[in-house]
Chain A
Amino acid sequence: MLNDLSFYALAALAVAAAVAAMTLRQLIHCALCAAGAFAGLAGIYFQLGAEFVGAAQVLVYVGAVAILIIFAVLLTRGGDVQLSARRFSTHWLAGVAVSILVLGSLAVPIFKSPSLRALAPAGVSASVKNIGYELMSGCVVPLEATGLLLTAALLGSVVIAMSEKPAARPRRDVNTPRRPELEEATHP
């Protein structure tokens, strides 16, 4: 009874927040509601006993992705723009068609996949230890490849952030001291 109750509460939170994220007008509100939907999903993972997945969901989606979305909205000035009175796009037919196509192209391979028909191996728990062994034995190549990709992305973002235009300020002569106040202190 208690379990059902918490499931319905979490499911209601996730669905309501997802609907709100689509329909609200203020973009920041949408982003916050999306974070709420992520949190609701994480709660359902916890309820199913998948603690690792739940914790990863909160860490990655609520902690990082939501903040990223909010920063994107703020930096692109989307937060200032009030949407017009019309809440739904006039091209809703095209939108429905595209979303059905996307759903189909995702759902068909999933339902055709042989791993869906294979029974879950009995006696294997999704403990953190097992996930770790699995990652470091069977999936070690993809794991390392992901690590390499993320490192490359990190370095790339640093390079982009570092490129300051040299013409923005006059170049300082190499011989002049960088900190005149220190120079004065040593040569009174």
Chain B
Amino acid sequence: MNALDQVFVNLQGWLVGLAPAGLRALAAMVLIIAGLMAVFGSCFALTTVMERKALGRMQNRYGPNRVGPCGLFQPLADAVKMLIKEDVVPFSADRVVHFLAPLVLTVPIWLAFSLLPFGRNMTAVNLDAGVLVFFAIGSASELAVFMAGWSSQNKYSLIGAMRAIAQMISYEVPLVLSVVPVVMLAGALSLEQIVQAQAGYAFGFLPRWNVLTPWGMVGLGLFLTAATAESNRSPFDLPEGESEIIAGYLTEYSGFKYALFFLGEYLGLFAITGLAVTLFLGGWQAPLPWLAWLPSWFWFALKFAALMAVFIWVRGALPRLRLDQRLNFSWKFLVPLALVNILAAALWHLSRQWNPIFAAAGARWLLGLAIIFPTYVWLGRTVNPLFVPVREYSYAE
């Protein structure tokens, strides 16, 4: 059991031992970086084909099924296609910024993977301020999107970039606020400590994951919603809404630069999904005590795949929002709900010490629900067009 659990850690230790003594530190770093890039690079390839197949099924068609068995080699064909395409740069574009934008988007995201605990002893860099650093890395993508939109010297690109920045800034607030309860109750910003805080089982079988508390359940919902918007996925894919503004900030990109943008977007989604697993779904902990013999990295991968399936499902099921709906949804619904959720988490924490009636988990659960559910209903009415008059625009008519 232990050997299987630590197989990657031991493999890395063995390989580092082969290197000459002076170069071992460097070898350890290179091995981790190569491992992360290989795993998530192939994860990207696999996700594109799985997503296309799933969307195809949801739209009553087959999806890619020509290249290789069941169409599984489609990403290879796509990669070759992207590589040999002509790299078109518009005449009036700002060539340097146009070239740098996909790199600025894609390169920092690799850093985020080094912070995630993929299994027992499998965190590349266990930072004391892990959660904070993760969000700091994510904030670089706003700049990249602006660079792409502005340097293309194209109206649609600039509109798309501005939409994307407005969306990223708006949804970063609920994203971070939904994480605050987790940090509060774990008492740490380090991702490893947050996973440790979710160890153990209530009543001998119920995992102590954050998602199984009222604030954690709402928190995961808020987090996934905001994460969808942060990674510009449908139903929040307005920045590249092809029916309105062609492809937004991607309009003037072709060939491999376009592929890099695509890669960056998916890597961002992977990183944020990994963070959701770590923060709310117990990280690499097994869901049941008698399943703990399976390796920790397997559980992380399983939860990760499950959340990715949710993202693909949502993309296939929901239509795109309108611009004002999208910003209203963040500021008038997600942000207040996240604030109330922090209050509920604080009460959950304090009620642990109240009288024995509250010591029972059920009463604490009901207290949390009693705070969150009425807020949810009331806030839902404030953004529902059936209850609120349509907004009148001063300048748009």
Query: Is the pairing of A and B real?
Result: yes
Find residues 342-397 in chain B having any chain A CB closer than 8 Å to their own CB. Answer: 389-390, 392, 394-395, 397
Task: Give the interface segment out of A54-62, A88-96, A115-123.
Answer: A54-62
Expressed in whole angstroms, the Cα–Cα distance for A79 and B97 within the complex equals: 14
Q: Are B146 and A55 in contact (CB under 8 A)?
A: no
Q: Are B389 and A62 in contact (CB under 8 A)?
A: no
Find residues 140-172 in chain B having any chain A CB closer than 8 Å to their own CB. Answer: 140, 142-143, 146-147, 150, 165, 169
Q: Are A59 and B136 in contact (CB under 8 A)?
A: yes
Expressed in whole angstroms, the Cα–Cα distance for A56 and B133 within the complex equals: 8
Q: Identify the closest chain A residue to B138 (Cβ).
A: A63
* Nearest Cβ on chain B to A178's Cβ, whole angstroms: 5
The answer to whether A14 has its CB under 8 Å from any CB of chain B is no
Q: Are B140 and A56 in contact (CB under 8 A)?
A: no
Which among B150, B188, B389, B395 is the interface contact of A28 at CB below 8 angstroms? B150
Given A128-B189, A178-B389, residue A63 in contact with residue B139 (CB < 8 A): yes
Q: Are A32 and B128 in contact (CB under 8 A)?
A: no
Expressed in whole angstroms, the Cα–Cα distance for A26 and B94 within the complex equals: 10
* Nearest Cβ on chain B to A26's Cβ, whole angstroms: 8
Expressed in whole angstroms, the Cα–Cα distance for A2 and B27 within the complex equals: 12
Q: Are A63 and B136 in contact (CB under 8 A)?
A: yes
The answer to whether A21 has its CB under 8 Å from any CB of chain B is no
Interface size on A, residues (CB 8 A): 32
The answer to whether A35 has its CB under 8 Å from any CB of chain B is yes
The answer to whether B201 has its CB under 8 Å from any CB of chain A is no
* Nearest Cβ on chain A to B90's Cβ, whole angstroms: 16
Q: Are B140 and A63 in contact (CB under 8 A)?
A: yes
The answer to whether A77 has its CB under 8 Å from any CB of chain B is no
Q: Are B132 and A52 in contact (CB under 8 A)?
A: yes
Given A51-B127, A178-B389, residue A32 in contact with residue B147 (CB < 8 A): yes
The answer to whether A66 has its CB under 8 Å from any CB of chain B is yes
The answer to whether B129 has its CB under 8 Å from any CB of chain A is yes
Q: Are B397 and A169 in contact (CB under 8 A)?
A: yes
Q: Are B390 and A179 in contact (CB under 8 A)?
A: yes
Q: Are B129 and A62 in contact (CB under 8 A)?
A: no
Main SS of the interface on chain B? helix
Q: Are A2 and B140 in contact (CB under 8 A)?
A: no
The answer to whether A173 has its CB under 8 Å from any CB of chain B is no
Contacting residues, chain B, for A99 (C-beta < 8 A): none
* Nearest Cβ on chain B to A123's Cβ, whole angstroms: 16
Contacting residues, chain A, for B129 (C-beta < 8 A): 51-52, 55, 128
Q: Identify the closest chain B residue to A126 (Cβ).
A: B128
Q: Are A55 and B142 in contact (CB under 8 A)?
A: no
Which among A28, A39, A128 is the interface contact of B128 at CB below 8 angstroms? A128
Residue interface bits A65-79, CB-to-B below 8 A is 1, else 0: 011001000100001
Residue interface bits A94-132, CB-to-B below 8 A is 1, else 0: 000000000000000000000000000000000111000
The answer to whether A168 has its CB under 8 Å from any CB of chain B is yes
Q: Identify the closest chain B residue to A178 (Cβ).
A: B389
The answer to whether B26 has its CB under 8 Å from any CB of chain A is yes
Q: Are A58 and B139 in contact (CB under 8 A)?
A: yes
Expressed in whole angstroms, the Cα–Cα distance for A128 and B392 within the complex equals: 46
Residue interface bits A132-176, CB-to-B below 8 A is 1, else 0: 000000000000000000000000000000001100110000000
The answer to whether A29 has its CB under 8 Å from any CB of chain B is yes
Contacting residues, chain B, for A70 (C-beta < 8 A): 146
List 16 contacting pairs A-B, 8 Å CB cutoff, sorted by A.
Answer: A28-B150, A29-B97, A32-B143, A51-B128, A51-B129, A52-B128, A54-B136, A55-B135, A63-B143, A66-B143, A67-B146, A67-B165, A128-B129, A129-B188, A169-B392, A179-B390
Beyond the given pairs A29-B94, A127-B128, A178-B390, 4 more chain A to chain B contacts, judged by CB atoms under 8 angstroms and listed by A's residue number, are: A52-B129, A55-B135, A58-B140, A63-B140
Binding site for A on B (CB under 8 A): 25-26, 94, 97, 127-129, 132-133, 135-137, 139-140, 142-143, 146-147, 150, 165, 169, 188-189, 389-390, 392, 394-395, 397
Binding site for B on A (CB under 8 A): 2, 26, 28-29, 32, 35, 39, 42, 51-52, 54-56, 58-59, 62-64, 66-67, 70, 74, 79, 127-129, 164-165, 168-169, 178-179
Instruction: State the 6 A-B residue pairs at the shortest beta-carbon distance, nearest first.
Output: A63-B139, A58-B136, A55-B132, A55-B136, A51-B129, A55-B133
